[in-house]
Amino acid sequence: MNTFAELICGGADIGRGRIFWISVGIVILLFLFYPTQTSAFRVANVAYYLLNIPLGLGMALLWGYCGVLSFGHVAYFGIAGYLYGIIAGNMSGNSLGPIAGVLGGLMASGLVAGIFGYFVFYARVQKWIIPILTLVLTLLLETFLGQTAGYQWRVGTVLLGGYNGMTGIPWFQIGNLVFDGYSFYYLCLGVVLACYFGLRMLVNSRFGQVVIAIREDELRTELLGYDVRARQWVVFVLSAMLAGLSGLLYVQWGNYITPSQVGLLQAALPVIWTAVGGTTSLLAVVISTYALNWITYTLSSQGNQYAMVIIGALLVVTMLFFPRGIIVMLAEYIGRLMPRRRALKRA
Amino acid sequence: MNSTIILETRSLNKRFGGVVAANNIDFAVRSGEFRCMIGPNGAGKSTLFAMLCGIQRADSGQIFIFGHDVTRMQAFRRVRLGVGLTFQTNRVFHELSVQENLTIPQASANLANNEAGLERLKFALDAFGIDPNDETKAVELTHNRLQWLEIAMVLAGYPTLILLDEPAAGMSSDETSKTATVLKHLNSTGLTIVVVEHDMAFVREVAQTVTILHQGQIFAEGSLTEITSNDEVRKIYLGKA
């Protein structure tokens, strides 16, 4: 059994040592005090950048650590978001509604991923086909949701809304505590920290080590006595539920969701966030997801029509010059410099 | 020899299109044996190994390991019975450290065999000069050390039967001899070993019984002396007129 220190500081993610942890502590403190220094509008924007991080982390876990690329993980983002809207909307006025919505949304995204993943992994579908199948799923979902305009497309009292989407989705609340504005920001920050540290412990655990072994060589891992398909399935479901978590936060952030959230453009984004940061590091993906959402939002809000073109160009540059991801390669470079500096000091 | 049969195939058949890779193979290995399988390229040796460990499904016939009918059993379940396998081209986890390569198999280790298994692992690590705490990435190791690491990885699962596909491939004569010595010692501790090998120097050093495969069939079986003095074998495999 690994100790807590081994799980947190293990080698499956970048970042170790006192300087690293002090830096992490400072960054967390900055985020904690940020709302006291700025406007509610900016706090809401930062909450938006943060809420996408679980989706990016799920993609890193599945693609970077397990070697399975899903090009349609936003399907689970959408499923959880819509389910939350339906459940919480129908239980409007009941303080348990949002909690039921969160549980229902997470369970639905896990269930759909479980069924889909079962057929994909237990049928031993070849790895290069999986991105296509997952993309097809999310495009089918988008097409279906897009044609749900009209009063007949409602669940209970909640209208699905077709391409206009579902509106008036309630905030999350526990008892009388409603998570809106600043409290929603802290909810997002808490979820991101829990997801990051939880996953960091997972990838450094024995389970994580086997998942990495599967990425390296599926057959070798199976011939060491591991049920490879079961582990791929578990990782797929877990990463889908992380996407679902982002979907839940998203619908609470804007109080609406549209089918475009599960469309082609949105499907490509988590793949870009992960590739740009570096698929094999959770921390790199946290940073790149935050940074790329900030860049996209900033460019779009300033009327720049080419935000997505710029993000696409960044992906191309990354693929050409930083194949293991910009942040991962930067960390590798710093790692190579450190022993030299220590050696120079000793000399 | 009175020991129990722990590996057996009955009328095993496998075709790839028009090519017959296994043709009614009846094959048995007893506990504690060191068996070498030789044969010309395309004789069906690797296919037989692939069927034994569950990578390939047999078209017909049966496979028994430790008395269990494993013909339809998943590969990982066969491994859990106490079987280990190395590949013709070594398949260690190249991007992982030596230490990780050795700890990953241990979580699925056959605990029924842990005492003897641990002793064998320690012996092999020591003999091959592998440090179990080495954090060097496997990709940085030389060819022979990769081959040895793969054998050690398999031993880290505490198997009672190991199938080695050309363990000495690409090694120098000294390295081949060292590999043979280590395997012979492991066999002397009760580990059953089945090896596919082309290197006759290696076979001469280790084999108790040799099985010759030819065109998907068992062509001959016996001691090395019996096999090498068989004219038909000399003709098909050793290239003698």
Asked, for residue B185, whether it belongs to a domain, the answer is yes
Asked, for residue B116, whether it belongs to a domain, the answer is yes
Mean pLDDT of A160-188: 93
CA distance A216 to chain B (A): 6
pLDDT tens-digit profile of B34-68?
Answer: 999 988 888 888 899 999 999 999 999 999 999 99
Going B152 to B157 to B162 to B165, the CA torsion angle's sign is negative
Query: Which residue range is the domain that position A27 belongs to?
Result: 4-346
Q: Is-contact A244 A110, C-beta < 8 A?
A: yes
Mutual angle of helices A97-122 and A130-146, in 10-degree steps = 140
Mean pLDDT of A106-134: 95
Asked, for residue B50, whether it belongs to a domain, the answer is no
Query: Which residue range is the domain that position B123 belongs to?
Result: 33-43+74-238
Cβ-defined contact of B55 to A223 (cutoff 8 Å) = yes
> From the CB of residue A10, how many other CB atoms can be counted at a distance below 10 Å?
17
Size of interface A-B (CB pairs under 8 A): 57
Give the whole-angstrom CA distance, residue B212 versus residue B45: 9
Going A17 to A19 to A25 to A27, the CA torsion angle's sign is negative
Q: What is the pLDDT of residue A347?
A: 56
Asked, for residue B137, whether it belongs to a domain, the answer is yes
CATH label of the domain that carries residue A145? 1.10.3470
* Option in A206, A219, A225 nearest B157 (CB): A225
Cβ-defined contact of B107 to A223 (cutoff 8 Å) = no
Query: In 3D, which of B105, B53, B83 has the Cα closest to residue B162?
Result: B83
Give the whole-angstrom CA distance, residue B163 versus residue B235: 27
Tokens of B53: 């460990």
Answer yes or no: is pLDDT of A343 > 70: no
Tokens of B183: 């395997």
Q: Is-contact B103 A205, C-beta < 8 A?
A: no
* Option in B94, B95, B108 nearest A225 (CB): B108
Q: How far is CA A267 from the centre of its chain?
A: 12
CA distance B77 to chain A (A): 6
Residues in chain B: 241
Cβ-defined contact of B85 to A213 (cutoff 8 Å) = no
* Option in A212, A217, A225 nearest B91 (CB): A217
- Which one of A65, A207, A220 makes the best mutation probe of the B interface by having the most chain B beta carbons within 10 Å? A220
Q: Is-contact B85 B151, C-beta < 8 A?
A: no
Give me the percent of chain A exceeding a pLDDT of 70.
97
Q: What is the pLDDT of residue B113?
A: 66
pLDDT bin (cut points 50, 70, 90) of residue A339 is low
Cβ-defined contact of A222 to B104 (cutoff 8 Å) = no
Asked, for residue B226, whether it belongs to a domain, the answer is yes
Residues in chain A: 347
Q: What is the pLDDT of residue A86?
A: 96
Q: What is the pLDDT of residue B238?
A: 59
The owner of tokens 């991105």 is A131
Asked, for residue B212, whether it belongs to a domain, the answer is yes
CATH label of the domain that carries residue B231? 3.40.50.300
Cβ-defined contact of A213 to B93 (cutoff 8 Å) = yes
**Window from A28-37, A298-307, B117-126 with minimum mean pLDDT:** A298-307
Give the whole-angstrom CA distance, residue A74 versus residue A80: 10
Q: What is the pLDDT of residue A93?
A: 84
pLDDT tens-digit profile of B101-158?
Answer: 999 998 777 666 688 899 999 999 999 999 999 999 999 999 999 999 999 999 999 9
| Total of domains in chain B | 1
**Window from A2-16, A162-176, A323-337, B175-189 with minimum mean pLDDT:** A2-16
Q: How many CA atoms lie within 13 A of B168 on its CB side?
A: 25
| Total of domains in chain A | 1
Q: What is the pLDDT of residue B239?
A: 60
Beta pairing, strands B217-222 & B209-214: antiparallel
Give the whole-angstrom CA distance, residue A249 versus residue B53: 47
Alpha helix locations (H) across chain B? 45-53, 75-80, 98-103, 114-128, 143-155, 173-188, 200-206, 224-228, 231-233
Cβ-defined contact of B107 to A210 (cutoff 8 Å) = yes
Answer yes or no: is pLDDT of A344 > 70: no
- The chain B residue lying nearest A216, using CA atoms, is B93
Give me the percent of chain B exceeding a pLDDT of 70.
95
- Which one of B80, B87, B104 makes the best mutation probe of the A interface by having the most chain A beta carbons within 10 Å? B104
